[in-house]
Amino acid sequence: MNYFKIDNDYYLSPLKETDIHQLVKYLNDKEIFNNTLTVPFPYTKDDGKFFVRLCEQKKKKYGVNTNWAIRDKTKKLIGGCSFHRKYRRNSKKDEIGYWLARPYWNKGIMTEVVKKLCKIGFTKLGLKRIEAIVFSHNDASCRVLEKAGFEFGGLLLKSIRKNNKLIDGKLYFKEI
């Protein structure tokens, strides 16, 4: 569960302390903050350290890694993706999350990453259902999920607290 090839240019592997510089570089982006639930803004070195440690703790707790850096050919982190471990330990469903650094948007990268996450979830983690919840204004992320074969599962009205406001989410799912 440590290395997955996306294509000849990109791959997934676990996060490391040496990724913190790239996390700080790319996650100081208001649009990423506006479209995600737990990424802080501004994003500091301490936020990066906290996140890398959290991934290590989760790996220990579950005995398997489910947080990955998306890396380019030079091994540099250009994004992240994960299974959230949202449900009870042996649940057959889970939720995914993902982000990509701005210079890499609209090249089809995340669509391929999400397809790969589905393959990992269904074949390696034994899942039967994979979910994603997107803020209703995030058309690019909805498009990614549609291109990766997810179905729209409904509007979750005022279900997400962001910036002290309740906003709508869109549930997407894929099942086998």
Ligand X SMILES: CC(C)(COP(=O)(O)OP(=O)(O)OC[C@H]1O[C@@H](n2cnc3c(N)ncnc32)[C@H](O)[C@@H]1OP(=O)(O)O)[C@@H](O)C(=O)NCCC(=O)NCCS
Residue numbers of the site for ligand X (CB under 6 A)?
31-32, 35-36, 98-100, 105-111, 134, 138-141, 143-144
Q: How far is the C-alpha of 101 from the C-alpha of 96, rounded, in Å? A: 17
- Find the shortest distance in angstroms from Cβ 106 to ligand X: 5
Query: CB 103 → ligand X: shortest distance, Å?
Result: 10
Which CB, 20 or 134, lies closer to ligand X? 134
Using the minimum distance from each CB to ligand X, give the nearer residue, 43 or 98: 98
CB of 121 to ligand X, least distance (A): 16
Residue type for 57, please? Q
Q: Which two tokens stand for residue 136?
A: 């209703």
Closest CB to ligand X among residues 66, 90: 66
CB 133, min distance to ligand X, A: 7
Q: How is residue 107 written in tokens?
A: 């090249």
Phi, psi at residue 139, to the nearest 5°? -65, -35
* Residue 31 or 61 having the CB closest to ligand X: 31
Q: Name the helix (H) or strand (E) containing 69.
A: strand 67-72
Please enumerate in sequence order all residues whose Cβ is within 8 A of that of 100, keeping only pairs 6 or more positions apart, or say none.
70, 78, 79, 109, 110, 113
